[in-house]
Structure 1
Amino acid sequence: MTEDQLLYVLALQHVPNVGDIGAKKLIKHCGSAEAVFKEKKHILAKIDGIGKVRLNELSLSTHLAAAKAELDFIHKNNITCLYFEDSDYPEKLKHSIDGPILVFQSGAVNLKSERIISIVGTRKITTSGIAFCEKLVEELAVFNPVIVSGFAYGTDITAHKSAVKNGLQTIGCLAHGLNQTYPKVHKKYVAEIEQHGGFLTDFWSSSIFDRNNFLKRNRIIAGLSTATIVIESAERGGSLVTADIANSYNRDVFAVPGRPTDALSKGCNNLIKQQKAQLLSTPLDVAYILNWQLEREPKVIQKQLFVELDDQETLIYEFLKKTDKQLLDSIAIACGLPIFKVAGILLNMELKGVIRPLPGKLFEII
């Protein structure tokens, strides 16, 4: 995208009441952001969902001036701009109907990874919540996922720090422009996160900081990822909004269950009860339900007889030996074991070189 093209995209993004869905309709109809401003209003009025109020806002001089100021900020701070029609725009976000037409990036984020997961939850995370989050990231590290969160207190910063600790890339999705840090106490983590990933936002440097920004930001957290994981949540909270958005994008959602009497487990328990999320009791559930395969080859063995299996592993091995390829759910049902437990057993068996995962969430013995 040329600088002139970027200028007009910024100008269109600056127009109030148009929004990302409306902007995409206008661009598709006219061919470019520049053409939108130069098209006759009576022609634009024929586009479905584009009313008089929106058309009256399309005053080029006002928005072009604001765009030039923002473009100057972008150049001075070495910010990368990702346009929704370009190849470097996050692939999964392209398939989110209300994904931003333009995203601003700092750092060196790997947006081409097929394994991007979002971890969200309460800002008042408990000790057990922290422990689970850290264990989750640590055990999934072998699959080399990119960890996305919102850089806020509690669950968010725990996820980011755990990703850095385990040598993973992490993306902080911000509810403000790249000219500020919120909360300010997290400024000490900025450089480290940019070295292990970076930050994304669709807010300008001139954007007013507002609580509603966090809800808007959540669509990027959900849209970037294959799956969203809720660690802890009260009965109401922003992480539940993120889970709902992920569901609307037809993405997987996981929730960590807790005791019914625990206030910070009510949100997760409700997601599971309402079938809006899959129950997550062990990190390996994520890898198997998403059908992630290890990036390194499992250890090769000459004969299965030389591998020591426990009773449950033997039960699964004998079932697969008789039935050939099987789904995770089918294995669990046939062997009378919980799905979450079977997921962990299968990973152990894969590491032993006894079985291997196949496309379509199937498993077979080697």
Structure 2
Amino acid sequence: MTQDSRLKTQDSNPKDLLYQVALPLIPHVGGGTARTLVKGFGSAEAVFSASQERLAQLPRVGTTVLRNLLSYKSSALREAEEIIKKAEAEEVQLLYYTNPAYPDRLRDLPDAPLLLYYKGTADLNAQKVISIVGTRKSTEYGRIVTERMVQDLVQHEALVVSGLAYGIDIIAHRAALKAGVPTVGVMANSVETVYPTQHTRDAEKMVQNGGLLSEFPFGTKPDAPRFPSRNRIIAGMSDCTIVVESTNKGGSLISADIAHGYDREVMAVPGPITSETSEGTNQLIKSLKAVPYTKHQDLVELLNWDKALAPGAVAKAEPTLDLTAFSEDEQKVLQVLQHAGPTHIDVLSRNTDFSMGQLSSVLFTLEMSGMIKAMPGKLYGLV
């Protein structure tokens, strides 16, 4: 999808877009609460026109949320109007969670942002997405490993995600730009301001081959609480989060913990036991929260990339399996497994176009019927 087509998608319903942008601007209306409201009333616009009595009947709408919905809706709508104008001027896409360009891997997570601000050209739903994070005080060892890691991703046409910070983050972004790999920086402030400012030129290049992504409205400055919030997007929108270097209290460990909590793959680069910047990665491996990354093949095998269907490939059913007794959704999954063999759940999701919730339901039914089996590494295969 090109940038122009995504912008057209964004503007396809400008009236409802106003309410979509306004809803997360209301204090204490987080992503989960906002989704409950939208689901209950059918649209963001309907939330704003709902009566106090109807709002109070919904779960997650306590006294504070109810008061803020009534008190702030006018000011939120005014602010949303200004945001939409600025987004058009700055060529920033406003990606509501129902927008096709919104990251699918992130969409169904319970704390996913309702709205994302995105400036760039990369497909946030690329077939393969890898997050590379690490300490701001990186060493030469960390630089060499990161650059090699990114170079090895060229053959897979993967999207590289990181946080635009000093150290491993910016090394990953720069290596991706040099190698021609699209790279997205997830920011703890609004997209019109680059932090740290020393990375402004890098960010400008990333917009041309990648992008800048944030959940924060224009004018938001970076502060400490926003960085962990930013980290959940880094972890949530990728297939695997790789920690290259980290101290025993490094911020990248937060990304690893979040990814682990999302049941996403986590890898860590082992390092010298004498190095402070390897204490965190070595502990991740020791505690079994991360798989060791010692070479590129480790990642390929973990994510089953060597057996994944190529982008756009059509799965072909083999004549040895009669699919007529299965539902259409079940047939789709069985066809992929016949064609590709044991397949990672994320690859299944992308090649069937099922949401993770829909896919999990189909997999459960097929597993209970004895047709498929779950395997280590989030793989599924025919029995």
Which residue of structure 1 aligns with residue 306 of structure 2? 293
Q: What aligned pairs does 1:1-366 form with structure 2 within 5 A after superposition?
A: 1-58=12-69, 59=71, 60-293=73-306, 360=379
CA distance in 2, matches of 1:11, 1:143: 38
Contact 1:140–1:284 under 8 Å retained in 2 = no
User: How many angstroms apart in 2 are the aligned matches of 1:239 and 1:221?
Assistant: 10
| SS, match of residue 306 in structure 2 | coil
Separation of aligned partners in 2, 1:138 and 1:208 = 33
Q: Give the superposition deviation at 1:239.
A: 0.6
Aligned AA for 1:74? A
State the Cα deviation string for residues 93-136 of structure 1 (Å, max 9, x = none). 11221111111111101123120000000011100000000111
**1:57 aligned counterpart, secondary structure:** helix
**Is the alpha carbon distance of 1:326 and 1:70 closer, same or farther for their aligned partners in structure 2, counting shifts above 3 Å?**
closer
Contact between 1:139 and 1:284, CA under 8 Å: does it hold in 2?
A: no
CA distance in 1, matches of 2:283, 2:234: 21
Q: Distance in 1 between matches of 2:85 and 2:99?
A: 21
Alignment length (residue pairs): 304
Q: Which amino acid aligns with 1:55?
A: L
Change (3 A) 1:18 1:360: closer
Question: Normalising by the residue count of structure 1, what TM-score does the alignment of the two structures yield?
Answer: 0.79
Give the CA deviation at 1:222. Answer: 0.7
Q: Is the 8 A contact 1:107 1:194 kept in 2?
A: yes
CA distance in structure 2 between the partners assigned to 1:193 and 1:326 by the alignment:
36
Separation (CA, whole Å) in 2 of partners of 1:243 and 1:47: 34
Q: 1:326 to 1:225 in 2, by over 3 A?
A: closer
Is contact 2:266–2:291 with CA below 8 Å preserved after alignment?
yes
Q: Is contact 2:133-2:162 (8 Å) kept? A: yes
SS in 2 for 1:264: helix
> For residue 214 of structure 2, what is the amino acid of its counterpart?
T
Letter in 2 for 1:98: D
The CA deviation at 1:326 is 10
AA partner of residue 216 (structure 1) = S
Distance 2:129 2:271 in 1: 25
Q: Following TM superposition, by how much is the alpha carbon of 1:52 offset from its aligned partner in structure 2, in angstroms?
A: 0.6
Q: Is the 8 A contact 1:143 1:293 kept in 2?
A: no
Query: Identity over the aligned pairs, expressed in percent?
Result: 39
Q: Match for 2:123: what amino acid?
A: N
Q: CA, structure 1 residues 361+196, in 2 after alignment: closer, same or farther (shift >3 Å)?
A: farther
2:196 counterpart letter in structure 1: P
Q: Contact 1:201/1:217 (CA < 8 Å) preserved in 2?
A: yes
* Amino acid in the other structure paired with 1:40: S
- Which protein has the larger Cα radius of gyration, Structure 1 or Structure 2? 1
The amino acid that maps onto 2:238 is: S
1:289–1:361 contact (8 Å) kept in structure 2:
no
Q: Which whole-Å deviations, capped at 9, do the CAs of 1:64-111 have from their partners, x for residues lacking one?
A: 111112112111111111111122211101122111111111110112
Of stretches 193-202 and 127-136 in structure 1, the one that deviates more from structure 2 is 193-202
Q: Which runs of 5+ in 2 are unaligned?
A: 1-11, 312-339, 343-377
Question: Contact 1:140 / 1:287 at 8 angstroms: preserved in 2?
Answer: no
Q: How well do the aligned residues superpose, as a CA RMSD in angstroms?
A: 2.2
SS of corresponding position for 2:305? coil
2-structure distance, mates of 1:69, 1:140: 40
